[in-house]
Structure 1
Amino acid sequence: MTFGGRGGGGGGGRISSADVAKQKSLNEDAPEIPGLGSHIAALFRPYKAQLIVIAVLVLVTAALGIVPPLITQRIFDDALFPAGGSPSLTLLTWLVVAMIAIFFVSSSLGIVQTIITAKVGNRVMGDLRVKLFTHLQAMELGFFTRTKTGVIQSRLQNDVGGVANVLTNTVSNVVGNTVTVIAAFVAMLLLSWQLTLIAVLIMPVLVIAQRRVGQVRARIAGRTQESLSEMTAITQETLSISGVLLAKTFSQQGAETARYSTENDRQIGLQVKLTMSGQVFFALVQVFMSAVPAIVYLVSGFLIARAQGQGFDAGITAGTIVAFTTVQSRLLFPMMALMRIALDLQTSKALFARIFEYLNLTPRIVEAADATAPDMSPPRGGSVEFDHVTFRYDDTSPAERPTLDDVSFTVEPGEFVAIVGPSGSGKTTIGSLVPRLYDVSDGSVRFSGTDVRDLTLSGLMDQIGMVTQESYLFHGTIAENLRYAKPEATQAELEAAARMANIHDAIASFAGGYDTVVGERGYRLSGGEKQRLAIARVLLKNPPVLILDEATSALDTVSERIVQGALDGAREGRTTIAIAHRLSTIIDADRILVIDRGRLIEQGTHEQLLAAGGAYAELFSQQAL
């Protein structure tokens, strides 16, 4: 029998057409998110008390804002130019003092409002960032095999950062400026309803134009964030140690720089478009708002002249005109601010949509409401059973040949079972189904006699230790990497685990000992040292079940022998599932399972399988050549 055909092993599995289409949608302009407004409002719900205080401060400040224009009218009509008399200095003094006092109180309230707003906005932004990070941690492994790390980082950093101004300033600015505009219009109506009509005549046109501009900005913002995601992905891929090494060894530094430069040029163009979009609109708004006082003077003159010609009082005094134009001029900044906020909200809608697109993703691996911790007591404690398991990485294509097809076997507590077969046969998938990194398409996987879908995720993982072909070490000290498995571990426990993994002497030879920094992904250590350190980390966790996924396949012969010795020690007293490529490492297994094209085709001891002369014997003879 010959081995071959497609399989679904290899850690992340195949990327299906559905996955590609889904990932494409995650990278395009942000889609419409149903209930986006309610999602955003929910972010502010924990801070209702602070928001109420902000609203009260805004209302009080806005109410105070009505008074100065009315005082201005009194200053002109009653204090400076009273009918038939000379200026009243006493009244003028009191009115000026009152106006200054109101300005002082309003400014003080504004400072308090800004402090509270800044705290609430930044808290909300922090909550959103942690919420997104937590949700991403809960996503299944398949999500990360389909999605670029840089794209995920961009959503977490660029997109959340892009809405920071909206979260920190929008609430108070919208309420403050809206109330200020309403208060100003009330004051204008109290002064002269005729002049107010002139001032608001063109407002509907401005609102319609603003909406159109906002739609354009939102589309540009979506493309801008997409470009930022791509730049982040390029940076993450090419400036990591592996990426730099790859570029250097293939002399592709120039090509990578060109790729980054091309995306950078696109980003610059989009940023310019985003900055310039709406500038003509705001210029026209400013011209209109600035021209209104002159129009008011002209209309006032016609109204007064007409009234005098017909022998009645127009009700428009010099104080009315001065106060009205003062109020109207004060409308310029809040009106411009509201229109800019409206544009920012439309722009940020694209960013919020990208954020909530991730938050609305439903993890495929979820914990049952009545899930329980594994029962590790005898006789089933630590056992693993596959019961007619069928698995597809893409469940949307049932016609496609499954990665695992009706696989059944049992690993008894304390038993050492090896899984062998060609690349892509489904070996790694088996190892991934035990700790429920993926869920089966059909059948069931039982741990300690219970379906893994009925167990708590943390309780299941607490009982399992995994050593993979490419063990991950983060940029930190050896001690920090080891304590990732057990944060409260003592130095003595670290050394005991390191001795069991045959790595203590190597660590002791380093100048920094256990405080030696391993570098990103452990690049300051050799391959064998990294693997033994990963084994020591698992031994520190001390799990009753151990899964070894081709833990020595990438090592040279000497390193393999040393690591294999560590693994032999780690297996003692544990249920062990070893996924192996080199058959020499598992010949002493209690049982060997042979997987081909996703099916279990043989099982037995090394001697039994050789005597059978089947697929295992053929594979063993090929490796012996």
Structure 2
Amino acid sequence: MNHERGLKSVVFKIISSSKGLTLAMVFIIAGAIVTALFPPLVLERIVNLLIAPEQVPLNLPLAYFGLLAISGLFESGQNVMITKFGQKVTRGLRSEMCAKLQYLPVAYFTEHEPGKITSRFVNDVDAVDSMFTNGIISMFADAFKVLSILAVIFYKSKGLGLIMILITPLIFVMTRQFQKQILQAQLANRIAISKVNNHVPETIGNIRMIHTLFRQKYMEQKYDDYIEESYRATDKSNLYDSIYSPIVIFISACIIASMMILAALGGQVQQFFGITVGTAVAMIAYVSRVFEPIESIGMEIQNIQSAVAGIKRINEFLQEPERKKTDSSITNRELNPGNGPFIHFDHVSFSYDQEKTLENPIFNDLCFTVASGEAVTIAGRTGAGKSTIFRLLLGMYSPDEGRVLINGVDADKIPDTQKRKLFGYVEQSFHQVAGTVTDQISLFDPEISFTQVEDAAKLVGLHESILALAKGYDTEAEHAAFSQGQFQLLSIARAVAASPKILLLDEITANLDSDTEGRVLEALKRASQGRTVISISHRLHENTLNQRIIQIGNQTKEVI
């Protein structure tokens, strides 16, 4: 399965999987365009009959108002369908991006800040959503509306049609210029407001220093400058907004007046522009309807332009190189400890910076073995690579040279579905998830039963404390009010809930007091029974949990 996809493939996938929705949207948009053309034509017929004078059949007024209602329904339906399609694209895009997350290497998450990754899922996807809900589809619909109206005007009066064909591009250019100026003013206002919002807490936070240095007037003047900047930007935006509508109304009136004057002239000019009174009424209606979609097209182009950067960033994310594929054929049975070494680092060399692997490796020809059921401590200076050993064991990284083997299987080939049954990982601090106490231990894993959750809690000595909570195991974790030591015990319970064969302990008593540390160590001794344990902590060795230290650094050696 290829997970390197872009926005285009997501849209095509949605269109192919939602053909009914796509066809319905096209039909409703076409209906909105076509039905909007008929009311002025019916009105033309009614006016011509009144001028004749002839009796107006009742069905004509009924048809006029009926067509107006149908046109309004199609217009509303168009907005609903476009919004629904945009939401489908947004949902499909976020689903594709979430699916991509599980295939990205750990290096991606260490090289990119969480906030920047989140912005791709929120800001960039929202920009794409705006492009579909009020962008590309709406723009095509409005463009067809303008073209269809111009076609009808040209059919009714070639002279007026030529005038409209010449004037429409000029109106569009004028509209875009006004919109750009308004948007620039709005952006300047947002910048000024952000300065004001930043200035106030900065002033309050440094109020003593401001008083000490007698800078009150300076800070006051800066605040006034930002307020004035915001006022000027807002005033400019309001100015453009207020004069645009009168200009459009004036242009519309000039076009209609020109049409009437030219139609009233004699000779060939009258033949070229000549129209009936009913047609004139219809033309007035059509001319007034041209300006609204033109104005909308300008904003839709703006939305599309704003979304371009978001699309580029999303496509870059979806095309990020993926981590090495695991072997789905590996089963839990193959990972059961055998007679040989259970864990084997076989001449491993590794560096986080691939371009400088040979210049500054974290490891160079690292070799050690851990037997099944053995407990060892990894020791070494800061930066020696103790935590990196865990990451290589967990298959989060692949060695540059050599192999990391678990019962003869390469660690980076073990499928994710097998890892929780193989590894239990206890970190320095507990990472809480949204949910109940049960969820903290099971991590929503459907394969972990409530009995296993209870057994894990009993093993670490938390069962009675959990039962004392208002709702026991169903208590929301944020309301459990656990102490730091209890959270660490909860972390151990989470690690052993799936009965893993290997327990990885990363400085788990570093932040605990001596009394709490004793409780945690006792829980660890119980949790370590029958498991292979690798820890990063001298203090655990001092408490006789481990029997052997593996010293890593410039030269790896084992201390018995």
TM over 0.5: yes
Secondary structure at the aligned position of 2:335 is classed as coil
Residue 197 (structure 1) shift: 1.8
Name the CA shift for 1:136/1:107 in 2 (closer, same or farther; >3 Å).
same
Question: Which residue pairs with 2:526 in the alignment?
Answer: 569
Secondary structure at the aligned position of 2:395 is classed as coil
1:20-35 to 2 correspondences below 5 Å: none
Name the CA shift for 1:570/1:541 in 2 (closer, same or farther; >3 Å).
same
Paired with 1:463 and 1:221, the residues of 2 have a C-alpha distance of 56
> Is the aligned partner of 1:65 residue 2:25?
no
Structure 2 portions without partners, runs of 5+ = 193-197, 207-223
Paired with 1:326 and 1:345, the residues of 2 have a C-alpha distance of 30
1:109-148 to 2 correspondences below 5 Å: 109-148=74-113
Amino acid at match of 2:310: L
Q: Aligned match of 2:453 in 494, 504, 519?
A: 494
Paired with 2:275 and 2:112, the residues of 1 have a C-alpha distance of 68
Amino acid at match of 2:61: V
Q: Quote the RMSD (CA, aligned, Å).
A: 4.2
Paired with 2:452 and 2:6, the residues of 1 have a C-alpha distance of 52
Q: Which moved more, 1:438-447 or 1:278-287?
A: 278-287
Paired with 1:341 and 1:203, the residues of 2 have a C-alpha distance of 17
Question: Which residue pairs with 2:165 in the alignment?
Answer: 200
Alignment check: 8 A CA contact 2:459 2:523 kept = yes
Secondary structure at the aligned position of 2:497 is classed as helix
Alignment check: 8 A CA contact 1:485 1:540 kept = no
Q: Aligned match of 1:581 in 531, 538, 542?
A: 538
Amino acid at match of 1:575: T
Secondary structure at the aligned position of 2:429 is classed as coil
Q: Deviations over 1:236-287 (max 9, x none)?
A: xxxxxxxxxxxxxxxx9948xxxxxxxxx9x999999999999887777645
Paired with 2:298 and 2:253, the residues of 1 have a C-alpha distance of 23
Question: Which residue pairs with 2:499 in the alignment?
Answer: 542
Name the CA shift for 1:439/1:485 in 2 (closer, same or farther; >3 Å).
farther
> Is the aligned partner of 1:447 residue 2:418?
no
Q: Aligned match of 1:49 in 4, 17, 20?
A: 20
What is the identity percentage for the equivalent residue pairs of Structure 1 and Structure 2?
A: 27
Question: Which residue pairs with 2:117 in the alignment?
Answer: 152
Question: Which residue pairs with 2:212 in the alignment?
Answer: none
Alignment check: 8 A CA contact 2:46 2:60 kept = yes
> Is the aligned partner of 1:80 residue 2:50?
yes
Paired with 1:582 and 1:35, the residues of 2 have a C-alpha distance of 50
TM-score after normalising by structure 1: 0.73
Paired with 1:332 and 1:307, the residues of 2 have a C-alpha distance of 30
Residue 296 (structure 1) shift: 2.8
Name the CA shift for 1:198/1:463 in 2 (closer, same or farther; >3 Å).
same
Paired with 2:72 and 2:36, the residues of 1 have a C-alpha distance of 11
Question: Which residue pairs with 2:558 in the alignment?
Answer: 603
> Is the aligned partner of 1:166 residue 2:125?
no
Paired with 1:451 and 1:289, the residues of 2 have a C-alpha distance of 71
Amino acid at match of 2:520: V
Residue 57 (structure 1) shift: 1.8
Residue 50 (structure 1) shift: 0.7
Paired with 1:189 and 1:168, the residues of 2 have a C-alpha distance of 31
TM-score after normalising by structure 2: 0.81
Q: Aligned match of 1:393 in 352, 370, 378?
A: 352
Residue 304 (structure 1) shift: 3.9
Q: Deviations over 1:289-340 (max 9, x none)?
A: 4234432344335534553498967533333322212101011212211221
Amino acid at match of 1:187: V
Paired with 1:40 and 1:322, the residues of 2 have a C-alpha distance of 43
Q: Aligned match of 2:516 in 556, 559, 572?
A: 559
Name the CA shift for 1:58/1:380 in 2 (closer, same or farther; >3 Å).
farther
Secondary structure at the aligned position of 2:552 is classed as strand
Alignment check: 8 A CA contact 2:374 2:532 kept = yes
Paired with 1:185 and 1:160, the residues of 2 have a C-alpha distance of 36
Structure 1 portions without partners, runs of 5+ = 1-33, 228-233, 235-251, 256-264, 606-625
Name the CA shift for 1:563/1:300 in 2 (closer, same or farther; >3 Å).
closer
Name the CA shift for 1:543/1:368 in 2 (closer, same or farther; >3 Å).
closer
Residue 63 (structure 1) shift: 1.7
Name the CA shift for 1:41/1:211 in 2 (closer, same or farther; >3 Å).
farther
Number of paired residues? 531
Name the CA shift for 1:445/1:216 in 2 (closer, same or farther; >3 Å).
farther
Alignment check: 8 A CA contact 1:535 1:567 kept = yes
Residue 474 (structure 1) shift: 2.8
- Looking at both structures, which has the greater relative contact order when contacts are Cα pairs under 8 Å and sequence separation is at least 6? 1
Paired with 1:312 and 1:593, the residues of 2 have a C-alpha distance of 101
Amino acid at match of 2:325: E
Secondary structure at the aligned position of 2:56 is classed as helix
Alignment check: 8 A CA contact 2:452 2:498 kept = no
Amino acid at match of 1:593: I
Paired with 1:572 and 1:311, the residues of 2 have a C-alpha distance of 103
1:88-107 to 2 correspondences below 5 Å: 88-91=54-57, 93-107=58-72
Alignment check: 8 A CA contact 2:50 2:56 kept = no
Paired with 1:290 and 1:410, the residues of 2 have a C-alpha distance of 84
Residue 518 (structure 1) shift: 4.0
Name the CA shift for 1:59/1:285 in 2 (closer, same or farther; >3 Å).
farther
Paired with 2:187 and 2:13, the residues of 1 have a C-alpha distance of 23
> Is the aligned partner of 1:460 residue 2:419?
yes
Alignment check: 8 A CA contact 1:58 1:179 kept = no
1:11-410 to 2 correspondences below 5 Å: 44-77=15-48, 79-82=49-52, 87-91=53-57, 93-170=58-135, 173-205=138-170, 207=172, 254=205, 286-287=245-246, 289-304=248-263, 306-308=265-267, 314-363=273-322, 365-368=323-326, 372-373=330-331, 375-377=334-336, 379=338, 383-398=342-357, 400-410=359-369
Paired with 2:523 and 2:94, the residues of 1 have a C-alpha distance of 41
Amino acid at match of 1:603: E
Residue 456 (structure 1) shift: 1.8
Q: Deviations over 1:407-450 (max 9, x none)?
A: 11222222222211122211111011111122222222122212
